[in-house]
Amino acid sequence: MGTGTAVRLIRRWCAVAVAVGPLLIAAGGISSSSTTAGATGAPDSQVVLRPVADGYVNSSLPTANFATRSALRVDGLPLLRAYLRFEVPVLGGAVDEVALRVFANSSNPFGLDIYTVGSAEETGWQEASLTYQIAPEPGRRVGGNFGHPSSTFIEVDLSEALSGLGPGSLDLVLATRSTRAVSYGSRESGVTAPSLVLNGANLTLDPPGPPAGLAAEGSPGGIRLSWSGPPEASGYNVYRSVAAVEDFVRVNELLVTDSQFVDVGAPAGQNVSYMVAAVNEAGVESIPVVATADRPDTVISVPTTDAVVATTGLVDPGGPSPQLLGRGPSGSSAYWHFDLNGLGSRVTGALLRLYVLSGIGEIVVRVVPQEQGSAASIDNLPPASQASVRTSVQAGGWVVIDVSSLVFNRATTIALSAAGGDLLIGNPRVPDTVPQLIVSTDGAGGGTPSPAPVGLAAIGGQDGVELTWDSAPSDGLAGFLVYRSHAQQGPFRLIASEL
């Protein structure tokens, strides 16, 4: 399951389980479960609240904000305090027991002290601007402990001070007498995020209404979801299951505040199921709605040959400079050749991805007929076909153009020209601006990809990082593409575009 999941309103989710297979028990800001106390007793129920804001302050850095860190730190010297805010919803029953649950990243022999402060309206602190200079002072002590080990969840009982807790904002301050900094999980830390656990008789939650009109549409760039939400929704959570045989996992890290979402991580060539749930201001999720879509199989191709030509002849046979698209009949055009031979499957869609460095105008995309242009004659290409795709662009980023109507099941040479203004676009031989043709197929037949390199080794030195690998013999192997990332999970950027 996704991070920070909990059993929530099982009875409300059963109908969804029948419709889509797996039973989703993931929750958002609030989760709830119910067990029977006895044959004649009232049901005992539990509500788990996630913080809606948190952060810590440091007396030695009085104007610094530490609101988006993955850990909350407390210390007695210098003075470090952590602040948590919970939104307590309207509950149908009385709260009998209250406990704060936090994950201790480090041990604390002196223990943790928990205090209350005023509400946001009284103190004025907000997560994005919380600093030691403006942080409210701790108020009444409501609980604590006498020390704890590291790498474990600990619960601090607050029932004596907070039983009968009603709806509204609850702000807590974490402090310690330790003179060594102690670390706890923050709300950004995922599964180790803090929570407020409420127990009582017949605690119930009123969820918002579900989203309406959920639609899912697959494309080479991902699966796009769209819906309309109830007026009481403050955001949405999106859950994914592949082929309806896997658990539903939340795919949005932060609450989705728009009524659409593009899942770029959806697996290609798979039928993907989605559930979207509305979330109200209290963090309560609605009953989810369900939709499915297929993301087509995709092949990403980079130009194997390129050139810039004008009416006067060849301008750039393949230099390292960005490529200029000139407007008008005498302007220059860029030609990129993509080798799609051997694809094997029927092309169902294609996206051209390119980088615009400067200029504002339109890019006009055409193809050179297969019988007239090839990689061998790219320096002497005849005019492109009259069929075209036009897209308005401006400098400063990647542009994705749908060229599905132009690309077929074979090698494709694309001609690009400008209208309305000169444009400077990325060169296929310049790292980080390499154009790509993203082709989706129906998966029937399918070309066979070359075997992956084996024995990849990286050795760092003063002159850079040297990479070595072995490759198994393979028919049609043209070379290798090298990508780099500063983090293990990505994102990865192409740094060697020459095959």
Instruction: Provide the residue ranges of all domains of the chain, joining segments of one domain with +.
Output: 10-30+207-295, 44-201, 300-441, 454-496
Give 21 or 228, the one with higher predicted confidence: 228
Contact call for residues 87 and 282 (beta carbons, < 8 A): yes
The encoded tokens of residue 35 equal 């067990």
Q: Choose the most confident range, by mean pLDDT, from 300-304, 381-385, 466-470.
A: 466-470
Q: Which residues contact 466 (CB under 8 A, 6 or more apart)?
A: 458, 459, 460
**For residues 374-385, b (16+ Cβ closer than 10 Å) or e, as one string?**
eeeebeebeebe
Contact call for residues 108 and 210 (beta carbons, < 8 A): no
Q: How high is the pLDDT of residue 11?
A: 25
The tens digit of pLDDT for each residue in 422-464 reads: 788 877 777 778 888 888 776 544 444 456 677 788 887 777 7
Return the minimum-mean-pLDDT range out of 251-255, 318-322, 456-460, 481-485. 318-322
Q: How high is the pLDDT of residue 99?
A: 94
Task: Identify the burial level of 145 via C-beta atoms within 10 angstroms of its C-beta, where 0-12 means exposed, 13-18 middle and 19 or more buried.
Answer: middle
pLDDT of residue 109 exceeding 90, the answer is yes
Question: 300-441: same fold as 44-201?
Answer: yes
pLDDT of residue 243 exceeding 70, the answer is no
Q: How high is the pLDDT of residue 39?
A: 32
Q: How high is the pLDDT of residue 118?
A: 67
pLDDT of residue 311 exceeding 80, the answer is no
| Cα-based distances in Å from 29 to 242, 251, 283 | 25, 15, 4
Mean pLDDT of 113-118: 89
Mean pLDDT of 131-143: 92
DSSP 376: G
Give 376 or 5, the one with higher predicted confidence: 376
pLDDT of residue 244 exceeding 90, the answer is no
Average pLDDT, the chain: 75
Model pTM greater than 0.75? Answer: no
CA-based nearest residue to 363, from 418, 409, 421, 407: 418
CA-based nearest residue to 89, from 263, 279, 242: 279
The tens digit of pLDDT for each residue in 348-398 reads: 778 888 888 888 888 888 887 655 444 334 445 555 556 678 888 777 788
Task: Identify the burial level of 47 via C-beta atoms within 10 angstroms of its C-beta, where 0-12 means exposed, 13-18 middle and 19 or more buried.
Answer: buried
Q: How high is the pLDDT of residue 106?
A: 94
Give 271 or 36, the one with higher predicted confidence: 271
Mean pLDDT of 310-339: 62
pLDDT of residue 29 exceeding 50, the answer is no
Q: In the structure, what pLDDT confidence band is assigned to residue 191 with cuts at 50, 70 and 90? A: confident
CATH code assigned to 10-30+207-295: 2.60.40.10
The encoded tokens of residue 406 equal 């132009």
Q: How high is the pLDDT of residue 190?
A: 79
Q: How high is the pLDDT of residue 423?
A: 80
* Percent of the chain predicted with pLDDT > 90: 23
Mean pLDDT of 328-348: 68
Return the minimum-mean-pLDDT range out of 50-59, 115-124, 251-260. 115-124
Mean pLDDT of 75-95: 88
Contact call for residues 436 and 340 (beta carbons, < 8 A): no
Mean pLDDT of 73-77: 94
Q: Choose the most confident range, by mean pLDDT, from 117-131, 208-222, 277-291, 362-376.
A: 208-222
One-letter amino acid for residue 349 of the chain: G
The encoded tokens of residue 86 equal 């919970």
Task: Identify the burial level of 57 via C-beta atoms within 10 angstroms of its C-beta, where 0-12 means exposed, 13-18 middle and 19 or more buried.
Answer: buried
Return the minimum-mean-pLDDT range out of 183-197, 277-291, 320-334, 342-356. 320-334
Give 378 or 38, the one with higher predicted confidence: 378
pLDDT of residue 25 exceeding 50, the answer is no
Give 220 or 23, the one with higher predicted confidence: 220
Q: How high is the pLDDT of residue 143?
A: 94
Q: Which CATH class is domain 300-441?
A: mainly beta
**Three-class SS of residue 177?**
coil
Q: In the structure, what pLDDT confidence band is assigned to residue 10 with cuts at 50, 70 and 90? A: very low
Return the minimum-mean-pLDDT range out of 145-154, 401-410, 455-464. 401-410
Query: Is CATH 2.60.120 what the domain over 44-201 is classified as, yes or no?
Result: yes
CA-based nearest residue to 407, from 340, 355, 308, 354: 340
